[in-house]
């Protein structure tokens, strides 16, 4: 495993990270490691693959369940006079 050092980090950032770490039951180092791991995974190809896997799982789980086409739901919503979020 490798080690990195981050110098000249603003004190306010460190305080916020410590609060975030405490809220996630992690040490400051553990929280920083988690943030970096998540950021390093932010690869568009990996996100697409993850989405496709999730979509396939949901299709399997809902197979045989009647589905209402989206356009029918949208039309029903519009016909009810709903104006959306403003």
- Residue spans per domain, the chain: 1-64
User: Measuring CA to CA, which residue among 49, 43, 24 is closest to residue 34?
Assistant: 24
Q: 86 falls in which pLDDT band (50, 70, 90)? A: low
* CB-count exposure of residue 17 (10 Å: 0-12, 13-18, 19+): middle
Residue from 44, 42, 62 nearest 52 by CA: 44
pLDDT, tens only, 17-58: 999 999 999 999 999 999 998 888 778 888 888 899 999 999
pTM greater than the 0.75 cutoff: no
pLDDT value at residue 45: 86
């Amino acid at each position: 495993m490798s080690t990195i050092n981050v110098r000249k980090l603003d004190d306010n950032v460190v305080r916020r990270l410590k609060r975030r770490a405490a809220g996630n039951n992690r040490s400051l180092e553990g929280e920083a490691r988690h943030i970096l791991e998540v950021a390093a995974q932010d690869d568009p190809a990996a996100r697409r693959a993850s989405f496709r896997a999730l979509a396939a799982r949901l299709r399997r789980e809902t197979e045989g369940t009647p589905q209402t086409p989206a356009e029918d739901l949208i039309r029903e919503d519009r016909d009810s006079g709903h104006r959306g979020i403003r």
